Amino acid sequence: MATTEKASPRDRLLDAAARLSYRDGVSVGIEALCRAAGVSKRSMYQLFDSKDAMLAAGLERRVPEYEALFTHPDPESATPRERILYVFERLQDAAADADYHGCPYLAVLVELKDPEHPASKVARRVKEDLAAAFRREAERGGARDPGLLARQLLLLFDGASARSGARVERLDDGLATATAAALLDAAGVR
């Protein structure tokens, strides 16, 4: 990533949108976003049709980083069980960060409540992709009901993420990973 001085106004706006909406919520004002990015409101509106479009673009831009965070470092040799548990281990690591506020995509869905909002569409797709990844691994691991297991794992992921992001639950004791392991055991995943 280029330094802030060398980054384009568009990149600075997207970075500010992702950072501030994660920290403060999607209701963060345009003035605050523009100030943080060092970009005028006029320039922002030349680059984006609306704040909503900018928020969606900021979320979209972070998808590869988010997906990479949860991808096992050696997917070829890891078992489906190991690949699933790795997601929860990484969630546990992320939740230990003082700046962790939960899954940014879940937060957008909860805050906006509008399935047609551009940012909601990006967030929903990311969550659906995670569920699909859980389902693929469940199928590969021989789960009795891969669809059900994928839903259970996503529910666990989102619940653990939300509760740890709200600082009402700590994940450093391995609770989410142990719970995922129990679900895998009950589903017969190897």
Tokens (6 digits) for 107: 């937060």
Residue 115's domain is classified under what CATH number? 1.10.357.10
Q: What is the mean pLDDT of residues 153-165?
A: 98
Q: What total of structural domains would you count in the chain?
A: 2
Q: What is the mean pLDDT of residues 28-32?
A: 94
**Res 106 pLDDT > 70:** yes
Same domain, 93 and 39: no
Predicted TM-score (pTM) of this structure: 0.92
For residue 2, being part of any structural domain is answered with no
Sorted by sequence, the CB contacts under 8 Å of residue 178 that are 6+ apart come out as: none
* pLDDT level of residue 5 (50, 70, 90 thresholds): low
Same domain, 190 and 107: yes
Helices (runs of H) and strands (runs of E) counted in the chain? 9, 0
**Res 4 pLDDT > 70:** no
Same domain, 129 and 159: yes
Q: For all residues of the chain together, what is the average pLDDT?
A: 95
**Res 138 pLDDT > 50:** yes
- Residue 125: which domain range? 70-190
Same domain, 109 and 178: yes
Tokens (6 digits) for 131: 């569920």
Q: Using alpha carbons only, give the angle 63, 34, 13 rounded to the nearest 5 degrees.
A: 25
Quote the strand ranges of the chain, DSSP E: none
For residue 93, being part of any structural domain is answered with yes
